[in-house]
Chain A
């Protein structure tokens, strides 16, 4: 055990020796070590968050054919720090009729719900917060706290726009949680475990995105909806309700909502990478190239994958127009939910029937089943669309007396 192969345990053992040699009880030393570890992990997440602000601003600028921040520091890298100073010294305005306690708790909870997810994010096989055996359920539970913070913000602001935004967000989030939980079941079935490390290690030979590409797509879509980012950003539709649930927030409280959203998007990029793209693994190459097994290198690989996921989420955000609420709910309840349940049933049956067969055969069969399901879905959608068009045509055709009357 040395610093390169196992940095966390190396430092932890050294510190534990230091603490117990001063006469501290072993249990108390554990608490102190946990405390230090958690603070370091959260500070890392916060620093990453500051960097993400810069990434987001730079990328959106490129999407909109602008340059983005480029004045302060090289490539505008110091810009987010300037933003933070601005937000901190801004006056914090609380609207007169607001419910003060809930109003002030909401941004804290919004940020805390994201930070909590970092407890289970496995950056490398030996760098992670905690390897819970119910990590997948923990992910769902911590996500629900984010919903709560938005209801609290919208309700406590005493503002009708904020309340409307909160209403919409709740409808959006609780609807898309169903396909998300169902697609979380798919890696659970394939890996036979709910622990994040177990799921990552189960993908050492073949990534789950090959076994269940549709599951990955549904998880990504419902994750974007859970984040409340475009095209599902009805909660803060600028053109109708200005900023939605955080309309009354200013200064650092707004900053917490904003930073929380960015970190949430990145964290979900990380979860997509972990659940479907092999986490910190590289196609099983790490068995042959020992450098890739080193925790620090693996962490860089994982963060790179998460960054790709984050970039895809941004790509969707800046390419798609906002969709209407009835379309959004219909898309979830009439398309994503039935489809995800079909995939769940097929995955369960296939993994049961193929449990004894070699990996390549199981992977091939599962991939082909997914292709067939995708093809059938597209055929059904095409049929529905054709029927609808025919209905509209028969309504608008000159044979109907009303339309003829109009044309004369």
Chain B
């Protein structure tokens, strides 16, 4: 068990190092001649106007909020799904009740018109 996580930790480290290797190699071999025109922002040849780091559209936040509810609650469903054969039938029904509360939230956002892209 402990060894499993040691493996994952090592995998993470090596998995990050492996993509860095070609980048380092490329930095050694490739030419490097920067100039202001080359480094300017590419927007189909038109000079860029104003700041690029603008605010997110509020619509994206709404979807992120709906997602957050679902994602956190589906994580709660994993233990239930794992032990479904050992659970008594009413515990299974309770899990289904939990899912229907989730669906009620989805229906609410739907009726509120928050799922429409404007």
Binding site for B on A (CB under 8 A): 30-31, 34-35, 38-39, 42, 46, 84, 87-97, 104, 107-109, 111-112, 115-116, 119, 129-133, 136-138, 155, 157-161, 163, 167, 170-171, 174-175, 177-178, 181-182, 185, 188-189, 192-194, 242, 247-248, 251-253, 255-256, 325-326, 329-330, 333-334, 337-338, 341, 344-345, 348-349, 351-352, 355
Contacts and interface: CB of A to CB of B under 8 A. Distances in A.
A136 B41 CA distance: 41
A323 B48 CA distance: 28
B56 to A, nearest CB: 7
Contact of A194 (B20, B60, B78): B78
Given A42-B18, A256-B23, A348-B92, 13 more contacts: A42-B15, A89-B26, A91-B33, A93-B39, A115-B11, A116-B12, A119-B8, A119-B11, A130-B4, A160-B48, A178-B67, A329-B115, A334-B115
A108 B20 CA distance: 6
Given A88-B22, A96-B36, A256-B19, A31 B10 contact: yes
Contact of A337 (B70, B81, B89): B70
By Cβ-Cβ distance, the 4 closest A-B pairs, closest first, are: A326-B117, A111-B19, A115-B15, A252-B26
Contacts of B20: 108
A31 B43 contact: no
A325 B115 CA distance: 12
B82 A192 contact: yes
B89 to A, nearest CB: 6
Most buried by A among B20, B23, B25, B27: B23
Contacts of B8: 119, 130, 132, 138
Contact of A112 (B19, B29, B33, B34): B19
Contacts of A349: 92, 96
B72 to A, nearest CB: 11
Nearest to B27: A92
A30 B15 CA distance: 19
B104 to A, nearest CB: 11
Given A108-B23, A130-B8, A185-B78, A338 B103 contact: yes
- Grouping DSSP codes into helix (H, G, I), strand (E, B) and loop, the B interface class, with mixed when no group exceeds half, is helix
Nearest to A138: B8
A143 to B, nearest CB: 12
A381 B26 CA distance: 53
Interface residues of B, number: 69
B30 A91 contact: yes
B74 A129 contact: no
Interface of B: 1, 3-4, 6-8, 10-12, 14-16, 18-20, 22-23, 25-27, 29-34, 36, 38-44, 48, 52-54, 56-57, 60, 63-64, 66-67, 70-71, 74-75, 77-78, 81-85, 87, 89, 92, 95-96, 99, 102-103, 106, 110, 115-117
Nearest to B64: A174
10 contacts: A42-B18, A112-B16, A112-B18, A119-B8, A132-B8, A178-B71, A188-B78, A189-B84, A341-B102, A352-B92
A341 B103 contact: yes
B79 to A, nearest CB: 10
Contact of B18 (A46, A93, A157, A330): A46
Contact of A96 (B31, B39, B106): B39
Contacts of B74: 178, 181-182, 185
A313 B79 CA distance: 31
Given A193-B82, A345-B96, A159 B12 contact: no
A178 B115 contact: no
Contact of B63 (A155, A171, A255, A341): A171
Contacts of B4: 130-132
A330 B16 contact: no
Contacts of B75: 137, 181
B26 A87 contact: yes
Nearest to A116: B15
A348 B67 CA distance: 23
B81 A155 contact: no
B29 to A, nearest CB: 5
A155 B56 CA distance: 11
A107 B32 contact: no
B7 A167 contact: no
